[in-house]
Amino acid sequence: MNDEAGEWLAYAEENLRVATLTLESRLLNSCIHNAQQATEKALKTLCFTRGLPLKKTHSIRELRDDLAKAGTAIELSDDECDLLDSVYLPSKYPVASVLPRFYPDERIAQQCLGIAERVLACARSSMPTTPVEPLDTDGMKR
């Protein structure tokens, strides 16, 4: 397994777990922020498994498009990319005069979480599995 891809996947898994827990607690900004982060890190996992260099971006659309150019199509619509890209800053920082007022509702949080779950499942399936060494009858590895 590519160690770097595995590290990104572990972080994505943690963000997904936090997104799930915060949705259950109705902490919606934290939910959508962690759902966006889980999706971003899952896409970066896929980039590493495809041999693409790390791109310092938070844009879901940009990462999806880079993967598509490299021959890996991800089930992620333009609208879903726009949604996750649009919630990144407002979910992370308090509203300032340069950002529009943004108050997520449960429907948006569930939608973001669903997207993250789907992209993370794709990233999980892209990871190579390590073959299990057979054991002798005495339980020792051969």
Mean pLDDT along residues 8-23: 96
pLDDT digits (tens, 9 = 90+) for 109-132: 999 999 999 999 999 998 876 544
Selection from 18, 50, 4, 27 nearest residue 116 by Cα: 18
Cα–Cα distance, 66 to 53 (Å, whole number):
10
Q: Can you state the percent helix, strand and coil of the chain, rounding each to 5? A: 65, 0, 35
Question: By the 8 A CB rule, do 36 and 22 touch?
Answer: no
Q: What CATH class is the domain 3-126?
A: mainly alpha
Cα–Cα distance, 26 to 105 (Å, whole number):
9
Total Cβ atoms within 10 A of residue 60: 26
pLDDT digits (tens, 9 = 90+) for 59-109: 999 999 999 999 999 999 999 999 999 887 655 555 554 445 667 789 999
End-to-end CA separation in angstroms for the chain: 22
For the chain, give every domain's residue range: 3-126
Q: What are φ and ψ of residue 135, in 5° steps?
A: -100, 150
What is the pTM (predicted TM-score) of this model? 0.82
